[in-house]
Structure 1
Amino acid sequence: MSLAYIALGSNLHSPVRQLEQALTAIAALPETELVSRSAFYLSKPLGPQDQPDYINAVAAIQTSLPPLALLDALQEIERAQGRVRLRRWGERTLDLDILLYEQQIIRSERLTLPHYDMHNREFVIVPLYEIAPDLVLPEGQKLVNLYSSFADHQMQVITPSL
């Protein structure tokens, strides 16, 4: 089993529910176990500002799926939850990104690991730090050093209604 970290985001059609359903679907993937998940964070959109704010989280999983098979499975979850790609960094029902897969570095047309821009995204680094504060990235950078840039973030923690 390999340890992977997945970023989750949604800003359409009940975003909290979208993330909860995605976490359930990820946990149900073959040869995969949901190890931990962060709180849900409310954040401003990365791209165009004429869209709703996002709900973001990060999950840690143990999986036997190889990276590209995991990517395929995550994209199928996105499709099942109604993801339509209308514009770059635009609104979406669900966005699932593999952030890290063990210590692998992959540069391919379909997949870049570690995620190409995770270092610059507070809505990734803050929830990742919440569940893996001692993490060291494949290039040797400590997550705690990235987190220090975002320690004063203004994101709001969202408590799902039960």
Structure 2
Amino acid sequence: MIPAPVTGVWVGLGANLGEAEATLRAALLALAELPQTTLRRHSSLYRTAPIDAGGPDYLNAVAELHTALAPLALLDALQALELAHGRERPYRNAPRTLDLDVLLWGDRCIQHPRLSVPHPRLHERAFVLMPLAELVPDLFIPGVGLLRESLAGVAEQRIQRL
């Protein structure tokens, strides 16, 4: 049997309900335990104001995974982790106990009814760009350009590295 190719994937983590810091730390441990997946590194935690939503401030981070899982298989695993941490989806942008988003899948662009990669709004969100810039300041985002060029567009968004 030929092993599946391993791809670098960036995942965004966020939470603003319950014990958000403990939840994000537990989620990072859980990401490291996913089948055919290695947690390579993760950013610091960041405190951010909600965007297009109400509720308490979020804690956010990004993680770099190397995985042999297919995109939808990883998405299913991430959504199972969200559910295990009490994630509910009562309405768009509702406060959440855990949010895990596939941000980038190598240099691929993916358009599927369940998954769009690069994440369609990642270049508009300081809570994604700042943690990514911490780890890979020269990152190229397919279809968008250099990460550092997108940072100016989010300068007014409140974000604090913890």
Q: Aligned residue for 1:43?
A: 48
Are 2:123 and 2:144, in contact at CA under 8 Å, matched by a contact in 1?
Answer: no
Residue by residue over 1:135-161, the C-alpha shift from the partner in whole angstroms, topping out at 9 and shown as x without a partner, is 111226111211243457541222xxx
Alignment of 1:1-162 (within 5 A): 1-49=6-54, 51-139=55-143, 141-150=145-154, 154-158=158-162
- Quote the RMSD (CA, aligned, Å): 1.4
TM-score normalized with structure 2 length: 0.92
Q: What is the TM-score normalised by the length of structure 1?
A: 0.92
| Alpha-carbon contact 1:12-1:91 (below 8 Å) kept | yes
Return the offset for 1:48. 2.6
Q: Check conservation: 2:42, 2:61, Cα contact below 8 A.
A: yes
User: Contact 2:123/2:147 (CA < 8 Å) preserved in 1?
Assistant: no
In 2 relative to 1, CA 29–79 (structure 1 residues): closer, same or farther, beyond 3 Å?
same
1:43 positional shift: 0.6
How many residue pairs end up in the alignment? 157
Runs ≥4 in structure 1, deviation > 3 angstroms? 148-154
How many percent of aligned residue pairs carry the same amino acid? 43
Q: Which residue is equivalent to 2:3? A: none
Cα gap change, 1:153/1:91 in structure 2, threshold over 3 Å: closer, same or farther? closer
Structure 1 stretches of 5 or more lacking a match?
Answer: none
List alignment gaps of at least 5 residues for structure 2: 1-5
Whether the aligned pair in 1 keeps the contact of 2:124 and 2:154 (CA below 8 Å) is: no
* 1:108 positional shift: 1.2
Equivalent position amino acid for 1:139 in 2: G
